[in-house]
Amino acid sequence: MTEFTPISSALGGILIGLSAFGGFLLFGRVIGMSGMMAKVLGHDLGKSAWRAFFFLGLIGIPWILSITISPPHDAQPFNPLALILGGFLVGYGTRLGSGCTSGHAICGISRLSKRSIVATCTFMVSAVVTVFVTRHIFGVMQ
Amino acid sequence: MIQIISLLLGSLFGGGLYLAGMTNPKKVLNFMDIMGNWDPSLIFVMAGAIPVAVIGYRLMLCRAVPIIFNSIQIPSIAAVDARLVIGSLIFGVGWGISGLCPGPAFATVLIQPQVTAVYLVALIAGSLAYKQFHR
């Protein structure tokens, strides 16, 4: 069980939205995690220096928050196989599908992109089905 | 200047994910578990984020160029194709197995490395594997 947190989740959403807001208005770009990661991993790191700074904030601020304002939730043990398989499929699938939750579900829906709406519906449904199969058919409780 | 603004945008994104609870894979999995202990919080994340992003997008469209960079680079492909659907399908399976998508994975690498580090290595491997197969 996790607690239902509509207010903090909506406030967090607004901050995420502000990041996307800035990405559009200041940079003229979609703030998409999988795409930015692929660019940073690519050969043109010189051109991607600004993206590396984005990741610095993305990685650093939650850590600072976790040791100052609010402690993190308890990190329960996770099956390493699920993390390896999950990570690989997310890495491959988001490149094939040109985006993940940030690029499609937040930025893409905000621009009413038909591709992003289709992508979001697809990965939401496949995630729900996956959780149903793992938790309720195979009984693996992650 | 670009670097500082980018750091700020990344900080907003990371802080938002943390506050929203998306850095907890269990919470994300409970959001997907509509037949079990459903936690609908993540709907509120989208409901908070999208209206703000819409305003940013609309303001951008009112300008010839963005404020910092000198050209708008927004994906222009319109066609829904098999790659988009199959890729998103695969992404959803990986997300449903792990409870982590790329943003929260980076956001938690210092907080819960025992969960995230191995995921991130696999994530990068998957991304690079795509690059190998689809040149």
**What ipTM was assigned to the predicted interfaces of this complex?**
0.96
Does residue A72 carry a pLDDT above 80? no
Question: Do residues B56 and A89 make contact, with C-beta atoms less than 8 angstroms apart?
Answer: no
**pLDDT class for A71, splitting at 50, 70, 90?**
confident
Looking at residue A43, its pLDDT comes to 66
In chain B, the percentage of residues whose pLDDT exceeds 70 is 99
The model's pLDDT over A114-142, given as tens digits with 9 standing for 90+, comes to 999 999 999 999 999 999 999 999 888 76
Q: For A15, which of B15, B32, B93 is closest by C-beta distance?
A: B15
The mean predicted confidence, pLDDT, of chain B is: 95
**Does any CB of chain B come closer than 8 Å to the CB of residue A75?**
yes
* Residue A99 Rama label (left phi>0; alpha psi -120 to 50; beta): left
Which residues does chain A have within 8 Å of residue B40's beta carbon, measured at their own beta carbons? 4, 6
Question: Do residues B57 and A113 make contact, with C-beta atoms less than 8 angstroms apart?
Answer: no
Looking at residue A130, its pLDDT comes to 97
**Between the ranges A34-38, B54-58, B75-79, where is the mean pLDDT highest?**
B54-58
Does residue A88 carry a pLDDT above 70? yes
